[in-house]
Amino acid sequence: MSMESRKTDHIPELSPHYSETHSDDQLGGNTYRMDPLLELELAKVRLAQTEKEIELERLRQKGREHYNQVMADKAMTYESTSVVDVPPRKDWVTMMFRALDLPKKEIIRFDGNPMNYWSFIRNFEDCFDESIGFR
């Protein structure tokens, strides 16, 4: 974040000559002497302001990292409960279209003939047994 975009109170720069007394000739007739205690207080305020800005930026960074981690966790824990694996951001129309577009399984009905029994069992296991958790 740039310094221009922050709204902070302006704290004046510290004078490099705070303890000097200037003569009237140097300052055009005005006597200038910066109080050392005032200069010290200004330095303390600037230091506190800088520390707060550092802490604020650290908290912003921590917030961004937390948000990114939450989004990554959501993406990793998403599990589709449908036959068609549709990402979480897809709309239901796309999901229905994909489900309708799947090839249909041929279901063999058992007709009572012992010769067709094993074909029926294999077909049943392929279509239903795994999907409802018998194994």
Q: Would you give the DSSP letter of residue 12?
A: P
- Asked if pLDDT for residue 98 goes beyond 60, the answer is yes
Given 3-state DSSP classes, what are the helix, strand and coil percentages for the chain, each rounded to the nearest 5? 50, 0, 50
Torsion of CA 131, 80, 75, 93, to 10 degrees: 160
Cβ atoms of 62 and 43 closer than 8 Å: no
Phi first, then psi: give them for residue 37, nearest 5 degrees.
-70, -40
CA neighbor of 107 nearest in space, from 93, 121, 96: 121
Give dist(CA 85, CA 81) in Å, integer.
8
pLDDT given at position 1:
46
Give dist(CA 97, CA 123) in Å, integer.
26
The residue with greater pLDDT, 17 or 49, is 49
Question: How does pLDDT run across 51-65, given as a tens digit for each residue?
Answer: 999 999 999 998 888
Question: How does pLDDT run across 14-41, given as a tens digit for each residue?
Answer: 555 544 555 545 555 544 566 888 889 9
Each residue of 108-117: b (16+ CB within 10 Å) or e?
eeeeeeeeee
pLDDT given at position 57:
92
Q: Where are the domains of the chain?
A: 1-84, 92-132
For the chain, give the mean pLDDT: 70
